[in-house]
Each structure stands twice: as C-alpha cells, then as structure tokens.
Amino acid sequence: MTIETQPPQVPHFVHAQPTKEELDWANLAAIDLSKAKTPEGRKSLVKQVHDAIKNDGFLFVVNHGVKPEQITRMFDLSNYASVSVSDEEKLKYDGRMRETGTYRGYKLRKFWHIVGGVRDQIEQYNINFRETLDGNHPTSLRPFLPEIDDFTKQIHSQIIDEVLRLMALSLELDEEYFIQMHDFTANAETFLRFVKYFPHPEEEEKKAGGVWLKGHTDFMTLTLLFSQPVSALQILNKQGEWKWVRHVENGVLVNIGEAVEFLTGGYYKPTIHRVRQPPVDQQNIDRVGLLYFCSPHDDVVYKPIAESPVLQRAGVSESRLLGGKFPTAGEYGKARVLAYGGTQPLKQGVQKGVDEEIVGGVLLRHYN
C-alpha cells in the first residue's frame, strides 16, 4: 500500500511595493493574448506584434491564460530554491557552466565579472525543460517537480507557442513554422529560471556604476520575464537612451533574442537590456525573479529564412554571423554560455563604456 505524502509548506514570498519614484519608463506594447486563441484573432494581432518586435524588441503579454495564483506559487518556489537549499547542496548542483556550456542547476553568486573586479550578486537555479522530472535536483525541490513541469509546459503552450505563431504570421509564413523547431521533442537550451538578486556592498555599487548585469542581448529565441514590482530592468532604445521597464500586474514581458535576428537575417533585432540597482525606495529589498528561456532545437541552423515573403521584400540575404558561416543553435548557445561573464579583458569598442568580443563568429557588445 502506497501512502501519499503532502509536499512541505512553502513560505509565501511577499513582493515589495512598486516604486513611487518617477522614472523614465519605456512605452512598451501590451498584447492581449486571449485574442490569439483563434485564427481570426491571431490575424488581428499580427501588425501590433510586428511593430513591437521591430521597434522595441520587447512587448508585454496580458490575458495569457496563466492564473495569478500559479504565478504567485512559482515566485514562492523561486525564493524557496534560494532559502531552503544549503550552501553545500547548492555546490552539489552547481551547473559548472564554464565546463558544460549549458544552463543546468545553480549559477551561484560572484560567478560573473561585471567591471573592475566587481562580481555579480545573482543566484539562479535553472531547470531544463527536458529534465524537470529526472530527479536530479536538490532534495527540498523534488516534491514540487511535477507542478514545476506542469507550469513549464503550460507557459510553453499558452505563451511561447502563441507568440511564435504571431511572429511567423508577421513574416507571412505558415503559423506553425517556428513551432516545429521549438517543441519538446529534441534537445534545446530551453529552461525555467528561478533567480534572486542580492544588493551589492556600497563600494561595489559605486565602482560598477550601479550596474548589476551588463547591457546585453539574449542568445535564445524568446525570453519570458514574469513581471514583479522591484524596478531594475532597463532597455536601450533606438535613440541610445536607457528606459526603465514598468511593472505590469500579472503581465509577462517577452523579448526576442539573437536566434530571431539570425533566422530573419537582421530584419528583427534584439534589444540591449541590463539590470541595475533599483530606485532608492526599493534598495536593500529582495528581488526574486521568474523567467523562461526558449531556444530552437540544437540542430537548427542559424541561416536566414529564405521562404519568407516579408524578408524577400526587405532584401534580407545575410545575417550578423561573420565569414558566411552558419552555426547550429546548439553550437552557438554553448559558445555564448562558455564565454559570458568571464574575467578575460574585452576589447574597448568605439563607443565609450561598451566592450566587444567575438563569440561563435558573432560580434557581441557589452554595455557597462
């Protein structure tokens, strides 16, 4: 006879109140994803999605079908992954990204170099979408793996797939075009991330200019960032201005990554974004995050889509990849993970405060 046991209680994580400071906010589109449930509804959203991706690289989705209490629960588990696991067990499940070139397990604090010897204060736990139920996770998280797996599959089908359909339609492709290279049937750098940001000592804040994570673009196809109230994310607009991203209750921020740039030959470009010290009324407050990163299957070749009428009319024929070589998603993703945040000196770019390096045949810029 099997006796079912209830999972342990998880403390509820209470978010901070939204900042009362008047910040220079980005004006991002909000897409009502409930309209994407029918072919007619999807068609009505295509121009809005096209313009948001083309102009900002970021958009919010609302009415996405994921219940607020589900999101609250995952934020609780995100915090739980940090506070319920001992330092010894975190080391046991250290992702060893410098060796593996992939996001798995913990990324511990002080792993990435920011500037001038200052290292990050960000702790992450990454769960690859194909390995959620394999049991190779910290003991305190194992009772919750089935619901984490259910949540991952839900947001993939209800948010990722719908955005991929809209993006395909915006390029006048069959709406299932991107779905087939982003499903659960093959290896991919697709994962859920629990993350917690810790304040830097004052002297480090000054040395790094308040930057917690350098300005960068993600290498994946889509990133989902579940909105939370502590303001720290900024995006760099086309005028070269840093704009803060406002909290949207129950909203999910979506941004495109370099995979989209490569597959569209630069027609769609990802937007530089960074994490910095929050405004004064939110400093020294825990910032807990919940993200989902979606990449193409590892064997997808990063070559511009030839059959898109939109790209044909735009005259797209090349991408940012150097030397005419087109790596696979797996090759490029691994190169990016291995290289990011190392202490090796980077080349100073033409623009002040911008470092450059070539990774996987691609010129990358890091904004301090």
Burial group, residue 275, by CB count within 10 angstroms (0-12, 13-18, 19+): buried
Helix (H, G, I), strand (E, B) or coil at 255: strand
Give the mean model confidence (pLDDT) for residues 24-48.
95
Name residues whose C-beta falls within 8 Å of residue 228's C-beta, 6 or more positions apart in sequence. 15, 75, 247, 287, 288, 289, 290
The pLDDT assigned to 116 comes to 83
pLDDT at 193: 98
In this predicted structure, the answer to whether residue 366 has a pLDDT above a threshold of 80 is no
- pLDDT tens, 215-266? 999 999 999 999 999 999 999 999 999 999 999 999 999 999 999 999 999 9
- 350 has pLDDT over 60: no
> 132 and 210 in contact (C-beta within 8 Å)?
no
Strands 252-256 and 347-348: unpaired
CA angle 46, 51, 53 (to 5 degrees): 95
**232 touches 212 (CB < 8 A):** yes
Find the mean pLDDT for residues 62-75. Answer: 97
Per-residue pLDDT at 271 exceeds 90: yes
Tokens encoding 143: 């009772």
Least confident of 37-51, 262-276, 312-326, 338-352: 338-352
Distance in angstroms between the alpha carbons of the first and the last residue of the chain: 60
Residue 5, pLDDT score: 63
What is the per-residue pLDDT for 6?
A: 75
For residue 181, pLDDT over 70 is answered with yes
The SS3 call for residue 294 is strand
Give the pLDDT confidence score for residue 1 in this predicted structure.
Answer: 38
Q: How many CB atoms lie within 10 A of CB 37?
A: 13
The confidence score (pLDDT) of residue 135 equals 84
CA distances from 52 to 92, 196, 268 (A): 42, 29, 10
Say if residues 34 and 111 touch (Cβ distance below 8 Å): no
Cβ contacts of 240 within 8 Å, gap of 6 or more: none
**What pLDDT does residue 317 have?**
74
Q: What percent of the chain has pLDDT over 70?
A: 91
Q: What's the whole-number mean pLDDT along residues 267-290?
A: 94
Say if CB 165 and CB 43 are below 8 A apart. no
Q: Report the pLDDT value the prediction gives residue 75, as an integer from 0 to 100.
A: 98
Predicted confidence band of residue 61 (pLDDT cuts 50, 70, 90): very high
pLDDT-derived band at 163, boundaries 50, 70, 90: very high
Cα 187 from Cα 235, distance rounded (Å): 30
What's residue 3's pLDDT? 46
Q: Could you give the CA distance from residue 264 to residue 180 in angstroms, rounded to a whole number? A: 17
Mean pLDDT of the region 196-214: 93
What confidence category does residue 2 fall into, taking pLDDT thresholds of 50, 70 and 90? very low
CB atoms closer than 10 angstroms to residue 318 = 11
Beta bridge partners of 242: 236
Which pLDDT does position 279 carry in this prediction? 96
**In the predicted model, what is the mean pLDDT of residues 51-66?**
96
d(CA 242, CA 336): 24
Least confident segment among 6-10, 73-77, 91-95, 230-234 = 6-10
pLDDT tens track for 122-146: 999 999 999 999 889 999 999 999 9
Q: Is the pLDDT of residue 343 over 60?
A: no
Please tell me whether residue 51 adopts helix, strand or coil conformation.
Answer: helix
- The predicted structure's pLDDT at residue 316: 86
How distant, in Å, are the alpha carbons of 47, 125, 189, 221, 310 from that of 292? Answer: 25, 12, 11, 11, 28
Average pLDDT over residues 296-314: 95
| Averaged pLDDT, 266-281 | 95
Provide the H-helix boundaries in 10-67: 39-55
| Of 232-241, 277-286, 338-347, the least confident | 338-347
pLDDT (mean) for 267-292: 94
